[in-house]
Homo-oligomer: A and B are copies of this chain.
Amino acid sequence: MNNTETYKRIVDTTYALFAEHGIDKTSMAMIAKEVGITKPAVYYYFSSKEELVDFLFEEICKEIDFAKCFTIEAYTKNNFQAKLLSDGFKMIQDQENDAFFSRVINEYILVSIRNEKYRQTFYSITEGFMNGFVDLLTKGAQFGVVTNEKLTTKAQLLSMVIDNIGNYMLMGFKIDYNEIWAEAVHNVLKSED
């Protein structure tokens, strides 16, 4: 594996083709053609399609992390509501900006239902979001800005909402996702306004 330039081009091209055609319907021949080399040349870098698919999967999963989206340490009693809102808004914005990324993730998620290895990874990531929200809300409760009741349930609700917003975007709904997130957040906060 000397020519890292080719290697990189294979990965980038595959990423784009997966987004456009899906994993199954992207053949090694298509990838090779798009990169401008031949099939055996691709096999020089990735010994099988599975290896290439797996590699991209790992790369992508690194990007999806609760701690990257919601920085618990930065939350204070005074900024709690504003920060919970804005971190969500940012996540929504990111998904709107990089539809490519969302599509590929979605592709892997749907495939994961029949692939135990992928399923477990997504399970862990989603679990990370649910647990992360529990931690965040627990902190909020200590600050006295979040109601203590049904904290886990509220955390799961937040996780489900932020997660499904991406799906609705992909489906093409032009609705106010920020407002939906705001409504979900409003539900976990102690009554104000």
A interface, CB within 8 angstroms of B: 21-22, 24-25, 103, 106-107, 109-114, 119, 122-123, 126-127, 130, 150, 153-154, 156-157, 160-161, 163-165, 167-168, 170-173, 175-176, 179-180, 182-184, 187
Most buried by B among A107, A113, A167, A172: A113
Query: Given the interface contacts A110-B110, A113-B106, does A156 sit within 8 Å of B180 by beta carbon?
Result: yes
Residues of B within 8 A of A123 (CB): 171-173
Residues of B within 8 A of A110 (CB): 22, 106-107, 109-111
Contact indicator A24/B21 (Cβ below 8 Å): no
Contact indicator B172/A157 (Cβ below 8 Å): no
